[in-house]
Amino acid sequence: MNKVPITKSGAEKLEAELKELKSVRRPKVIQAIAEAREHGDLKENAEYHAAREEQGFIEGRVKDIEGKLSNAQIIDVTTLKDTGRVVFGTTVVLYDEEEDKEITYQIVGEDEADIKAGKISFSSPVAKALISKEIDDVALVRAPAGDKEYEIIDVKYI
């Protein structure tokens, strides 16, 4: 299977969530199931069914995270040579002339993308237009709403 790029901080967040699921939430739900079983008839026991449903969610999420981490290519952008070129993991400061404002994005893996936090997926139209560009280059983003141009003001390897 192909490796999927993820930033070091993204991988750390997934590992922390996995640890939380395995060491805190899983034992709690197992305890909740045991307590619900003690109440007798499981057919009409809402607590039991809710705990079993949560257990299913937890186990599914554990498998999902383990799969993502096993296929992850962890990239620590701080260890890359700063060439001023936009690559996966870099933080890019852009100027939108049309709206006369600066925008900052970090190019991250698909699971890390969060536009409100300024993190865009490397597979997004904006990131695709930016990758391999340098400071002072203009990136043309072709989007369904129309073409948009951004001037690259700064590229940070942080």
The CATH number assigned to the domain with range 4-75 reads: 1.10.287.180
CATH 3.40.50.2300 fits domain 77-156: no
Q: For residue range 14-71, list pLDDT tens digits in order.
A: 999 999 999 999 999 999 999 888 877 777 788 888 999 999 999 999 999 999 999 9
Q: Quick one: average pLDDT of 80-93?
A: 94
Position 103 pLDDT exceeds 70: yes
pLDDT at residue 44, as a whole number: 76
Closest CA to 77 of 117, 114, 119, 115: 119
Q: Residue 124: count other Cβ atoms within 10 Å of its Cβ.
A: 18
Position 146 pLDDT exceeds 80: yes
Domain residue ranges of the chain, discontinuous segments joined by +? 4-75, 77-156
pLDDT at residue 39, as a whole number: 78
